[in-house]
Amino acid sequence: MNTDQASYFPILMQFLLAVGFVVMTIIGSSFLGPRRKSKNKDKSFECGIESVGNARIPFSVKYFLVAILFVLFDVEVIFMYPWAVNFRGMGWEGLAKMGIFMFLLVVGFFYVMKKKGLEWE
């Protein structure tokens, strides 16, 4: 192997190890897992509470909106970590770019607050 291929060798090994673990876990659980079926065991179950009524009760759109906004702002905040690690190396240009990013993040947050996207009714 030349040096370019050798640099990818650890990544390939980690990928193969992860795929192998997943495959072996799935195969192993099918051989080692119990196969006893019963009417009580196959019944729908959640949190120890008996199911009553229809499971197709619609959720409020606000629930999904809050969840999506949480993920959106959470992912945007994750982008700040690499910037914080490389803060000195990026200089004033990096500071200006992060300032723009933070400005847009705060504007988006205030827009959501103005539209009352995070309020429960």
- Check residue 100 and give its pLDDT: 94
The CATH number covering residue 73 comes to 1.20.58.1610
Q: What is the pLDDT of residue 70?
A: 86
84, 118: one domain = yes
- Does 90 fall in a domain? yes
Task: Supply angle C-alpha 19, 10, 13, rounded to 5.
Answer: 25
pLDDT value at position 49?
67
User: Are 72 and 25 members of one domain?
Assistant: no
Q: Report d(CA 32, CA 103) in Å as an integer.
A: 54
At 51, list the tokens: 């199911």
Residue by residue, DSSP assigns 11-25 as HHHHHHHHHHHHHHH
Phi, psi of 117 (to 5 degrees): -75, -20
Considering the domain architecture, whether residues 76 and 30 belong to the same structural domain is answered as: no
Domains: count for the chain: 2
Q: Are residues 30 and 74 in the same domain?
A: no
- 42 lies in some domain: no
Give a yes or no: residue 121 inside a domain: yes
Q: Label residues 13-49 b or e (16+ Cβ within 10 Å = b).
A: eeeeeeeeeeeeeeeeeeeeeeeeeeeeeeeeeeeee
Q: What is the pLDDT of residue 45?
A: 62
Residue with tokens 């190396």: 89
* Within-domain flag for 29: yes
Q: What is the pLDDT of residue 119?
A: 78
Residue 118 belongs to a domain: yes
Residue 106 is assigned to a structural domain of this protein = yes
Q: Domain range for residue 115?
A: 59-121
Per run of 10 residues, the mean pLDDT along the chain (length 121 residues) is 75 95 93 78 66 72 82 85 85 90 90 83 68
